[in-house]
Structure 1
Amino acid sequence: MPLTTTGELITGAAAAHTAVAAFNIITLEHAEAVVAGAESVDAPVVLQVSENAVKFHDGDLLPLARAATAAAERATVPVALHLDHIQSDDLLRRAPDAGFSSVMYDASRLPYAENLAATRAAVDWVHARGLWIEAELGQVGGKNGLPPLDAHAPGARTDPDEARAFVADSGVDALAVAIGSAHAMTTRTATLDHTLLKRLSGALDVPLVLHGSSGVPDDELRAAVTGGIAKVNIGTALNIALTGAIRDFLTARPDAVDPRTYLAAGRTAMTEAVARLIGVLATPST
């Protein structure tokens, strides 16, 4: 079916008090696995391409974007395309022509006033072109090999009053909030601050987004959706599944040289991970 829009999926989920899974893709196999996993549980999904993934592809956005679009258009469930964690204004401006309906503009590393000014400029630019935009306040941490911030470090958590002002003054459509998760976690040991999430949900009238969800246990994810998270970003969990399956395949078959054999095993493992995690998000917290 034709690409849907991220805004449509997320605002619908927020209104229904549910969440949409958004998976970061790096290769064609990632895109195929995400679509297949979503189809297996008959759920909508967001395909995300990060600035780091674009850098991996020598800075060329179009090959992966075109592959993701092709995978989405053959899907039997609604699929949207999202450009994730953009810091480059040049890359931001390539989003509409590459088929993205939404972007996450990340100026969270900057002091508050600079984050607000940069985000406001990005909002004005993308809204003029009909795109939906997400930003971040507080710092989830763990990007680009950096350790997550200490839970008590200044700026490590999103302040509800500051978030209310930021959303009003920037005009963003959704806000990624820092409540205890971290990017690139390979163990599922994160503990979320659900009291803070409740305060943020009560303070804001835009959908809330959880980044770094691969390190969050199932029960914590369910509670986050119950508490108001409408978009759940997942990336590392797919890479763990892909790498583990390929490692096991090549260990058992050390003479294998055809990449189609071990990439197929990796793709199947990612498909299963996608289906399982979407199922977790669809299960109410008790």
Structure 2
Amino acid sequence: MLTSASRLLEAGLGGSLPAIAAFNVITLEYAEGIVLGAERAGLPVLLSVSHNAVRFHGALAPIAQGCLALAEAASVPIGLHLDHCEDASLVEEAALLGFGSAMFDASTLPYEENVAQTAAVVARGHELGIWVEAELGEIGGKDGAHAPGVRTDPREAASFVAATGVDGLAIAVGTSHAMTERTAHPDNALIGRIAAAVPVPLVLHGSSGVPDAGLAAAVAAGIRKVNVGTQVSAAYTRELVAGLGPGPDPRKALTAARTAIAGDVERLLRVISAPIPVPS
């Protein structure tokens, strides 16, 4: 069932779920695997289409319409999310296509420019009924654009949220995009300080590099949306490469690749959505 990201995140903030997961979609098989994994887990999920995926397809509409059809037919709540978008007009197009949320990424710009551009996108997004996420404190590993070791400052985060009206904030706390080994350790103390300073959900990017226990700890510290990309791509590619043979029909290999995504999604959803232990 198609559900907006804001409603999914409200469920998390309301206590029925501690956090929502967003998994990157590159091809239709990714989306099918993500939905299958969510249905197996009996948990909601966000199908996340990045600006890079839009560039790969040459347009947003074809992959968006496939995701929309899968979401509408699913037995669990599914939201559509536009990720790491650098073009304000694409955010508007996503809203008109049925997306409930978008991340506008101006984090490589100077702070004041980030604020100005983000505030404009938020204002237009709210007119269209879309939940808008932004990023403060560059998160490493994405196309070499982000400096390593950067951290989000809690006071600056509070000022940024107040100035932009953004609905969610992606923060830099020690994770990095495109990690193929799960060796990252988020700064949970910093997550806690930022969560105490800002009134909107916090988002963890670069989550593929974090072990399951680390993800659970980050959620306990205050993360409310967890983005996963590289981990599902690695599972997909591994099975696809192993299954492709000399014949002309790739469907057996694609089925295995899709099933591998479903397995990772089911496991990660259970980790991210597990109840947070109450200190005794």
Common topology (TM > 0.5) = yes
Q: What displacement does 1:284 show?
A: 4.8
1:125-136 equivalence runs, <5 A? 125-136=124-135
Tell me if 1:210 matches 2:204: yes
The amino acid of 1:22's aligned partner reads A
Aligned to 2:11: 12
d(CA) in 2 for partners of 1:190, 1:161: 24
Tell me if 1:55 matches 2:55: yes
Aligned to 2:45: 45
Aligned to 1:192: 186
Q: What displacement does 1:205 show?
A: 1.0
Tell me if 1:84 matches 2:75: no
Q: When the two structures are superposed, what TM-score results if normalisation uses the length of structure 1?
A: 0.93
Aligned to 2:155: 161
d(CA) in 1 for partners of 2:171, 2:67: 27
- What root-mean-square deviation, in Å, do the aligned CA atoms of Structure 1 and Structure 2 show? 1.3
**Count of residue pairs brought into register by the alignment:** 276
Which is further off, 241-250 or 72-81? 241-250
The gaps in structure 2 that reach 5 residues or longer are: none
Kindly provide the CA deviation profile for residues 11-65 of structure 1, in whole angstroms up to 9, marking residues without a partner as x: 221231601110110100001001000000100000011100000002x110000
The amino acid of 2:180's aligned partner reads T
Aligned to 1:245: 239
Aligned to 1:149: 147
Q: What displacement does 1:282 show?
A: 2.6
The amino acid of 1:112's aligned partner reads Y
Aligned to 2:255: 264
Q: What displacement does 1:243 show?
A: 0.5
Equivalent position to 1:255, from 229, 232, 246: 246
Equivalent position to 2:264, from 263, 273, 279: 273
4+ residue segments displaced more than 2 Å: 147-150, 254-257, 282-286
The gaps in structure 1 that reach 5 residues or longer are: none
Q: What displacement does 1:147 show?
A: 7.0
Q: When the two structures are superposed, what TM-score results if normalisation uses the length of structure 2?
A: 0.95
User: Contact 2:21–2:227 (CA<8 Å) still a contact in 1?
Assistant: yes
| Identity %, equivalent residues | 50
d(CA) in 1 for partners of 2:86, 2:145: 19
